[in-house]
A and B are shown apart, each in its own frame.
Chain A
Amino acid sequence: MTIFNNILIYFVIIPLLTLGGLALCTNAGRGIRAIRAVAVTGATALVALAAYLVYYFVTARAAGVQDAMLLRSDVMWYEPFNIKLALGVDGVSVVMIALSAIIVFAGVFASWKMNPLPKQFFLWFFLLSTGVFGFFISIDLFTMFMFYEVALIPMYLLIGVWGSGNKTYSAMKLTLMLMGGSALLMLGIIGIYFHSAPEGSPLTMNILEIAEANAIPHSWQMYLFPLTFVGFGVLGAMFPFHTWSPDGHASAPTAVSMLHAGVLMKLGGYGCFRIAICLMPFAANELAWIFLLLTGISVVYGAFSACVQTDLKYINAYSSVSHCGMVLFAILMFNTTAMTGAVLQMLSHGLMTALFFALIGMIYGRTHTRDIQKMGGLMQIMPYLGVGYVIAGMASLGLPGLSGFVAEMTIFVGSFMHEDTFRRVLTIAGTSSIVITAVYILRVVGKLLFGPVVDEHHRQLTDATWEEKLSTATLIVCVAAIGCFPNFFVDIISGSFEPVVKALNAAM
């Protein structure tokens, strides 16, 4: 079949094969080794494939291939609704896929000693990643939505079974809120589908065709845009739909927090861009101000909230609200620079939050508390983790040379370039978050790592093990790579936005 000639499909097949492999393993005795071997093999294969994809994409673009999407293939799936298994990637998807692969890789190592039921844990973990990859490679509304939900539901069990604290409440809340978002989304998708083509032509689910036809009536756009944007915005932790995030992250096990904050929340931003904005440029222009306001609030609000939290994961969850708010904020700026910044921010936030959660998990695994009041001076005890945490913190508060700086600056400069005074004022308000971010990051770094040792029992604790070092080092290297060579990424990403920006300006 032709579809198997497309390397993209293997991003779904590899996790599925891994699932199959895991299903054959057992939890008992030496089975854990087999489980780890299968998981690592799968994750490594994904990273390798993602690396090849990036290479392929860069060389193709360098060779002058100008198609909006590369690696296209269409296989009819549900004929009556014109639903296809349509694959294709542009720069944004490519970097997102690479990000996902890296975080899955790091996540596998971060959950090396997962207990109990490692097999089931990895099963759900890889099911989740199947959904994530499927979402990024699809360009058909239905399949995208399907993969989107596939990625969401494993969270319930991953948090519920392997989580900590008030896990059943958090898991339920997270699942229901996200599913609430996807309920809106489903309605939006159905609405888009029925207006996808001009009168007389066959309806379609393919987003490229819909964008090209641009046939959604303006009156319908005004309803469908908020549905889809809020639908994805819930996952992107947009104020006021973000409250699943603190509780959910606080209860989730390490690797799940990593994957969730690192990749899953990106689905929100990506979807907002790919579906809400690309397909409905008119409404995007008309209604942007509402969402700009909400996302602008997210940015500042999340940062301020993070300032007074005492639970490490809560701090990070609120910081994610702030950072992800910035993603949506920038996407709504409708110029190439800001949108590129948004994707960079997704990458950056994905990596550094994953790093944060990995480190928090490792620290929690040792101290059995996440309350910063009860910890202190950990730098003396576990220097590796401490340094990692400082680096993550520095990335988060935007130190040049690490990814956060590049992303935030691109967003701010891009956003400020918009002619609209309203957007500029919001941008200026948004920039203030860099100070607040510094406040809460330094506060937690100061309390957690520096100063005297608070709890003498902590002196017996050990530093990171090799797999933990591998997991965090991978992420640190990636964070630094984006920070040091941003233009490589900008070149991949920014090309994808030009047609969109053109459409948006035309719709104005």
Chain B
Amino acid sequence: MELNVLMYLVPAIVMFGCGVYGFLTRKNMIAIMISLELMLNAVDINFVVFNRYLFPGQMEGMMFTLFAIAIAAAETALALAIIINVFRAVRNVDISEISKLKF
């Protein structure tokens, strides 16, 4: 069976959607972080697939993916550090805890 571009794209979009859903519904900050990773990875798939199927002659999408992965890693690291900070402050990783600043 020949795999066409949509067969990659649909899962990627679903993944992105899952990430968004996860972000919006999870209470745990770590889980939210994971959801964000899902979203970023969905984008990566997009790039790779577009490059591979639509514009096979060049490497731009691939390169972009590499950088995006690196950025995502940096983001995760930073996010974890901050989550630890928050945990130290409120002894919890519940996202609803950090809503003191409002209005």
Direct contact of A and B (CB under 8 A): no
Binding site for B on A (CB under 8 A): none
Q: Which residues of B contact A (CB under 8 A)?
A: none
